[in-house]
């Protein structure tokens, strides 16, 4: 398994600072007067639940929900073009196990109970290159510990990126964040797929751009 080089010292310092300052409840206040969509009741009814955060046009979930009709799939995207198009594509696909929310995923995920999901996927999030935007990257985000807590024991979190530094930061954060427990990195390296699971992945493959992924598994024991 490939591993990624450790982030630079100034980045790890910034991560530790961001984690020490993080206050999820305060962060969520920006949505306190917003009508948020709720997670569809029918999604709760599935034993196996998967959520794709920032799912874009929803290509991956259309494929997965067709392959596994007994599993529930929820895609969330806030983009005006991608989010709107995704909900229309999901309706057209007609899979009864496929659900889409055109919304910001942060406050929606924040309402999820612990051990709710079997898998979380995040394909090609914006890398927010300039250092002043670091805090928008997942490794620095106040929602990160919650993301790991909503996974069932044995559940997995998959993140892909065409930027090595982004994957390296996530590896560092999952292992070193003081509020994240019992998550193990089970894969870190180039993507295995050549077909393109999402629109961005397809585009990167066509253009010959390197893509990598990291997979983490919740090792907490089942109770
Ligand atoms: C670079 S695109 C990748 C889209 C898709 N995952 C793919 O691989 O084709 C990033 C997507 O994340 C969405 N996004 C970013 N932050 C989000 C958030 N907080 N909630 C929901 N969607 C978000 C954007 O709207 C955009 O569609």
Ligand 1 pocket test, candidate residues 54, 199, 205, most atoms within 8 A of CB: 54
| Ligand 1 near 201 CB (within 6 A) | yes
Residues ≥6 apart with Cβ < 8 Å to 191: 160, 201, 211, 212, 213
What's the CA gap between 3 and 137, in Å, rounded?
20
Ligand 1 pocket test, candidate residues 27, 31, 56, most atoms within 8 A of CB: 56
Ligand 1 pocket test, candidate residues 78, 104, 213, most atoms within 8 A of CB: 78
What pLDDT is attached to residue 194? 81
**Alpha-carbon 144 to chain mean position:** 10
What pLDDT is attached to residue 39? 97
pLDDT tens over the chain, length 223 residues: 568 989 999 999 999 999 999 999 999 999 999 999 999 999 999 999 999 999 999 999 999 999 999 999 999 999 999 988 999 999 999 999 999 999 999 999 999 999 999 999 999 999 999 999 999 999 999 999 999 999 999 999 999 999 999 999 999 999 999 999 999 999 999 999 789 999 999 999 999 999 999 999 999 988 7
What pLDDT is attached to residue 193? 78
What pLDDT is attached to residue 173? 97
Task: For residue 55, report the distance from its CA to the centre of ligand 1, in Å.
Answer: 6
Domains of the chain: 9-23+41-218 (3.40.50.150)
What pLDDT is attached to residue 2? 60
| Ligand 1 near 7 CB (within 6 A) | no
The helix, strand and coil proportions of the chain, stated in percent and rounded to the nearest 5, come to: 40, 20, 40
pTM score of the predicted model: 0.97
Helix axes 9-21, 164-176, angle to 10 degrees: 50
């Amino acid at each position: 398994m490939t591993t990624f080089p450790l982030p630079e010292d100034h980045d790890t310092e910034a991560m530790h600072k961001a984690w020490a300052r993080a206050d999820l409840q305060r962060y969520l206040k920006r949505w306190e007067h917003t009508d948020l969509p709720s997670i569809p009741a029918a999604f709760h009814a599935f034993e196996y639940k998967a959520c794709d955060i920032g799912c874009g046009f929803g290509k991956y979930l259309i494929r997965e929900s067709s392959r596994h009709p007994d599993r529930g799939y929820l895609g969330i995207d806030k983009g005006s073009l991608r989010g709107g198009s995704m909900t229309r594509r999901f309706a057209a696909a007609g899979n009864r196990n496929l659900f889409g929310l055109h919304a910001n995923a942060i406050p929606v995920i924040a309402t999820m109970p612990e051990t709710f999901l079997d898998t979380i996927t995040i394909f090609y999030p914006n890398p927010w290159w300039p250092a002043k935007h670091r805090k928008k990257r997942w490794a620095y985000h106040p929602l990160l510990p919650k993301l790991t807590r909503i996974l069932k024991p044995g559940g997995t979190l998959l993140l892909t990126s065409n930027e090595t530094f982004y994957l390296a930061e996530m590896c560092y954060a999952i292992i070193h964040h003081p509020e994240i427990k019992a998550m193990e990195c089970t894969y870190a390296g180039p993507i295995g797929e050549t077909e393109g699971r999402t629109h961005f992945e397809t585009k990167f493959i066509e253009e010959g751009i390197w893509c990598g992924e990291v997979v983490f598994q919740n090792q907490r024991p089942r109770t």
